[in-house]
Structure 1
Amino acid sequence: MTIRSVGAGHGWQWLVQAVNVGRGNPRAVYGAVAIVSLLALLPSVLQLVLQLAFGLDAQSQLMLIGALSLVSILVYPLLIGGVLRVIDAVEHGRPARPGDLFSVFSVGAGRLVGFGLLMGALYIATFYTLVSLFGDGVPEWYLEIMTITQEMGASQTPPSAPPELPMPPAGIGPLMALGLLFGMFYATVYAIGLGQVALGGRSVFAAFGDGVLATLKNVLPVLVIAALAMAGGFALILVFGVVASLVTIVAGLLHPALGAFLVLPMYLALLLVLYVVMFGAMYVMWRDICGDAAAPAGPPPGSTIEL
């Protein structure tokens, strides 16, 4: 197994290639991602339904979020692995359909679930450690915020003045900074490792080791694509917010509900595009670092490490 080290400029190339991924068969790629996007909305819909039906308090909401997160840890690696296989088939010119993403449920499902469990355990352990070391008072502050928000939503009459929210604890700044740093590291390990399981046929721990090594050897391009993705995402959300506001205002002149009716498909389309770019970035990162790198995105000669 070869783990390549690529230059910082690949961060930009990955983003461009992710935007263009699936152009050979957009129906298969966008169809597969649309299925995953709809399934990804189910936990939020279920949480909303249970909240409206049972009026869950803040602590019960946290327990529900934890349970749904556990289900996501088990199911999402299967769905993402399926999307990566669809993208790989399209990029290599093989026939592909949106439903092909479910092929992972019969081939390699155990390894994908195992990798998801391993990464989920690392996420939870790291989060607990960071909160224990730097998050003194953060869980209590978060619960208080959720309680105030729940009371506002349950109130039949709007408050005469906005409620006074508690100040965040002093340690929340370092906690968020470290959370962002570890989040970027684990996200890259997850992307490369999941590609190794779904496309490279690697075992769970071998894929995890590949992901860690690939991340450490490609810090610069990872930082570049992360910075570009955050800047581009912020700009895209800002533009979408302006356009959605204008549509809502103009449509509201005809009927109050027309604005929401028009904005919802716009939001779903934006979500679909973002998912395609995200999965596309995962694929091209894996391909250029571990898979059969495409020619001009391949590494310069002599930059490989044989494992």
Structure 2
Amino acid sequence: MSTHARSPAAGWSWLRQAVNLGRSNPRAVFGAVALLALVALVPSVIQLALQSGLGLGTTASLGVMAASTLVMVVVYPLLIGGLLRVIDAAEHGRETHATALFDTFHAGNGAGRLIGFGVVMFVAYLALFVTVVALFGQDFFAWYMELLTASTQNDPAAQAKVMQDIPEGFGTMMALGTLAGLFFSGIYAIGFGQVALAGRDVGSALADGIAGTLKNVLPILLLAMVAFAGFLVFALVMALVISLLATVGGLVHPALGMLLAAPVYLGGLLVMYVVMFGVMYFMWRDVCGEAVPLPPGQVEL
């Protein structure tokens, strides 16, 4: 299956369509994204509960973190595949629902291919990360262990001190990591779409992801810049609204302030998730197939 090179403006188009995502079936799309976010949050909640309740040390905390990561390496690809199928069904007017997110967990729905692609991408991410750190951030792991130790001891002063002692080469490492992350995000979006929606095997999906990303470097860069600027504006507005609600509610009682601010905060996170996966879907659809115009009644930004 061939991939297409799109104009730089396609990056803006993917983001614009992602903002419009869910208008045809908001209950299914937003519901599925909310379920995905909840499931993805479970390992972090368990990890935090174990660290707080059992007072785990640095080594034990790393063990829990590693175990949680391995579980999500298997589970998360299934969730992504299920969500992409819900989005695709909603965009094409087919009947779907939020819990269709979990259809990929059933036999005969390509679970092996989704997990396989997810594992390949995870190993590639890990190998790249280790390579970049080995070349440009030799002291990073020691610094991170100090930060983790300070975090598990709940010592703000120690954490602040560690944050001031950022290792040499950290800036270069982060810059290279960001560029690599952009490249991998293209492979991730296109490849997962190929596995979940086009029925491609892992190797073919990976090849399509690499080829499609190389052909669309400029639109992906434009997307990253516009998305970053939009995120800053969105985050600023959200922070102001949340702060205002918390302050007004806090005049009556601190609990009321939290009660007023929490729905806005959670709603903002949900919107960000919807847009993120929407971009992923529309990038795949545009690069691996013919661009589909917005359905009647949708608003272009």
Same fold (TM over 0.5): yes
| TM-score normalised by structure 1 residue count | 0.90
Seen in structure 2, the aligned counterparts of structure 1 residues 163 and 112 have a Cα distance that, compared at 3 Å, is closer
1:73 matched to which residue of 2? 73
Aligned residue in 1 for 2:176: 178
What residue number does 1:139 align with? 141
Larger mean CA deviation between 30-39 and 260-269 belongs to: 260-269
1:13 maps to a residue whose letter is S
Whole-angstrom distance in 2 between the partners of 1:178 and 1:26 = 37
The equivalent of 2:257 in structure 1 is 259
Structure 1 match to 2:10: 10
Partner of 1:301: none
Amino acid in the other structure paired with 2:18? A
Could you say which residue in structure 2 is the equivalent of 1:303? Answer: none
Are the equivalent residues in 1 in contact too, given 2:187–2:206 (CA < 8 A)? yes
Note if contact 2:150-2:159 (Cα within 8 Å) is conserved in structure 1. no
Query: Contact between 2:147 and 2:159, CA under 8 Å: does it hold in 1?
Result: no
- Specify the alignment match of 1:111 in structure 2: 113
- Which of these residues, 125, 128, 135, is aligned with residue 126 of structure 1? 128
Within a 5 Å distance, the mapping from 1:206-221 to structure 2 comes to 206-221=204-219
Match of 1:30 in 2: 30
Number of corresponding residues: 291
How far off its partner does 1:144 sit?
1.2
Q: Is the 8 A contact 1:82 1:102 kept in 2?
A: yes
Q: How far apart are residue 162 of structure 1 and its match? A: 8.9
CA spacing shift, 1:97–1:271, aligned 2, 3 Å:
same
How do 1:135-284 residues align onto structure 2 when only pairs under 5 Å count? 135-152=137-154, 164-165=161-162, 166-284=164-282
Structure number having the greater helix percentage = 2
In percent, how many aligned pairs have the same letter? 52
CA distance in 2, matches of 1:235, 1:146: 31
Q: Secondary structure at the match of 2:153?
A: helix
In structure 2, distance between residues paired with 1:255 and 1:173? 43
2-structure distance, mates of 1:167, 1:52: 26
Give structure 1 stretches of 5+ with no counterpart: 297-307
Q: Report 1 or 2 for greater relative contact order, CA contacts < 8 Å, sequence distance ≥ 6.
A: 1
Is 1:290 aligned to 2:292, yes or no? no
C-alpha contact (below 8 Å) 1:79/1:101 kept by paired residues: yes
Secondary structure in structure 1 of the residue aligned to 2:161: coil
The equivalent residue for 1:96 is: 96
Distance (Å, rounded) in 1 between the aligned partners of 2:27 and 2:165: 48
Q: C-alpha separation between the residues in 2 aligned to 1:291 and 1:255?
A: 54
* Structure 2 residues not aligned, in runs of 5+: 295-301
